Amino acid sequence: MTGTAATEEAPRLTFELEDIGFNEVPKKWRKFYRYWDGPGDVMAPNEILCPVCKVVIRSKREIRPGDRLYCMPCMSRLVVVTGDDGELTTDVLY
Ligand SMILES: [Zn+2]
């Protein structure tokens, strides 16, 4: 028996999302966003802050560099990158 490829990416964590009161988008989409609590707010592995409107975007799966996200509240398209501090952040595509 040979081992499995060690270079394969680990499976992503998945998350159950629920509506936690973000009311700036249609009800169907509310669970994908939450309000930011400010600089002390810690992002979960499936969350990232929109740099444009400062709303937290939530995904059903773990967010990784290269992921593209859409921020419905401000209609920005974002791509996830690793910042200088090693934390995930986003660049705005348009
Ligand atoms: Zn936004």
pLDDT band at 2 (very low <50, low <70, confident <90, very high): low
First to last CA, the chain: 49
pTM above 0.95, yes or no: no
Rounded distance from Cα 56 to ligand 1 centre (Å): 8
Do the Cβ atoms of 83 and 65 come closer than 8 Å?
Answer: no
CATH number at residue 32: 2.20.28
Classify residue 64: in a domain, yes or no. Answer: yes
Could you give the number of structural domains in the chain? 1
Domain ranges, residue 63:
27-92
The pLDDT > 70 percentage for the chain reads 93
- Structural domain includes residue 3: no
One-letter amino acid for residue 30 of the chain = R
Confirm whether 75 is domain-assigned. Answer: yes
Q: Which residues surround ligand 1, an ion (CB under 5 A)?
A: 50, 52-53, 71, 74, 76
C-alpha of residue 9 to centroid of ligand 1, in Å: 29
